């Protein structure tokens, strides 16, 4: 029996992990998040309220639970918020990782850390696991700093880097590009969608599967866990409109200069997936399949 502790269990990825892990055999699941549990759907797991920015709370929870594996998904991920609230970003994205690593070392826990394509400058994407980082935003720098902590720690570790995660939260509390496009066009709204930022969008369920494969195998090192299609948001919007038979003439193609945002975005990221496919047996859906998957979840 392997005990897996998940941070950020109220988040989109956290929800998918708890849902899948709670159905897995020979796994004991501990879900942790700040505040109350927002996971009514899953059974066979334990919830513990945990603020990972408080060192004492981290130490106490690890002392009680003694996890074999930690999957660390909790983070401040709003890129513009990180740019304007740097102290809060650093506390959650870097300092908390220090506390989790110290506790993982003490209890000999295998540590799976979630990271991002935003550690890259977007000049030479798509990237493999050996590519050189050069963040453009404070969010990117915070996640890169956390990666360095993990890599230089004395624990057994893996880093799962991902890109533009989309999916349906159980309480519909989060939007994503598919829902945004669908809802806007259904209401007859015109939308501007950028064509100069390239990503490999990732279905949340696929990302959860990748993290679970890493955790089960305790596969060490860096793994790119994303979707397989390199697309820009305009292409994603057109594919969404086509799937739901909505009016594409409402979608206007624009470049990133039309939007003023506090944080810089990398132009072309996306990931090469040879390593996770070969080492983990990772097999993500295409974006077309992802749209169909989301449509099924919302009953459309």
Q: Does 249 reside within a domain?
A: no
Q: Does 172 reside within a domain?
A: no
pLDDT the model gives residue 300 = 67
Q: Does 101 reside within a domain?
A: yes
Q: 43 is in which domain, residue-wise?
A: 2-167+201-227+270-285
The span from the CA of 116 to the CA of 132, in Å, is: 13
Cβ atoms of 109 and 69 closer than 8 Å? yes
CATH number at residue 70: 3.40.50.720
Query: How many domains is the chain partitioned into structurally?
Result: 1
Q: Does 98 reside within a domain?
A: yes
The span from the CA of 140 to the CA of 133, in Å, is: 9
256-236-136-169 Cα dihedral, nearest 10 degrees: 120
* Alpha helices (H) along the chain: 12-21, 55-65, 79-84, 86-90, 96-106, 138-151, 177-186, 204-217, 233-243, 274-280, 287-297
Q: Does 107 reside within a domain?
A: yes
Mean pLDDT per block of 10 residues along the chain (300 residues) reads 96 96 95 91 89 98 98 97 98 98 98 98 97 98 98 98 94 82 97 96 98 98 98 98 97 88 95 98 98 91
Q: Does 33 reside within a domain?
A: yes
The span from the CA of 28 to the CA of 32, in Å, is: 13
Q: Does 44 reside within a domain?
A: yes
Q: Does 184 reside within a domain?
A: no
């Amino acid at each position: 029996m392997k005990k897996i502790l998940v941070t950020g269990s109220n988040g989109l990825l956290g929800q998918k992990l708890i849902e899948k892990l709670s159905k897995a055999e020979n796994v004991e699941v501990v879900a942790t998040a700040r505040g109350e549990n927002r996971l009514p759907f899953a059974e066979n797991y334990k919830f513990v309220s945990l603020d990972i920015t408080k060192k004492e709370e981290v130490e106490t929870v690890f002392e009680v639970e003694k996890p074999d594996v930690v999957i660390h998904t909790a983070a401040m991920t709003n890129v513009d918020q990180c740019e304007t609230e740097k102290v809060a970003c650093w506390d959650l994205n870097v300092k908390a990782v220090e506390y989790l690593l110290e506790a993982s070392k003490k209890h000999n826990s295998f540590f799976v850390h979630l990271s991002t394509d935003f550690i890259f400058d977007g000049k030479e994407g798509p990237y493999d696991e050996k590519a050189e980082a050069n963040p453009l935003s404070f969010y990117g720098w915070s996640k890169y700093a956390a990666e360095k902590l993990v890599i230089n720690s004395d624990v057994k570790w893996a880093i799962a880097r991902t890109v533009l995660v989309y999916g349906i939260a159980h309480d519909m509390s989060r939007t994503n590009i598919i829902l945004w496009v669908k809802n806007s066009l259904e209401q007859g709204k015109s939308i501007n969608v950028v064509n100069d930022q390239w990503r490999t969008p990732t279905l949340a369920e696929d990302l959860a599967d990748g993290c679970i494969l890493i955790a089960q195998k305790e596969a060490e090192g860096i793994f790119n866990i994303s979707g397989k299609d390199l697309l820009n948001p305009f292409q994603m919007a057109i594919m969404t409109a086509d799937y739901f038979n909505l009016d594409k003439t409402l979608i206007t193609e624009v470049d990133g200069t039309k939007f003023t945002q506090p944080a810089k975005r990398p132009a072309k990221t996306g990931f090469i997936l040879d390593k996770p496919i070969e080492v983990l047996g990772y097999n993500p859906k295409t974006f077309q399949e992802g749209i169909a998957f989301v449509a099924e979840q919302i009953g459309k």
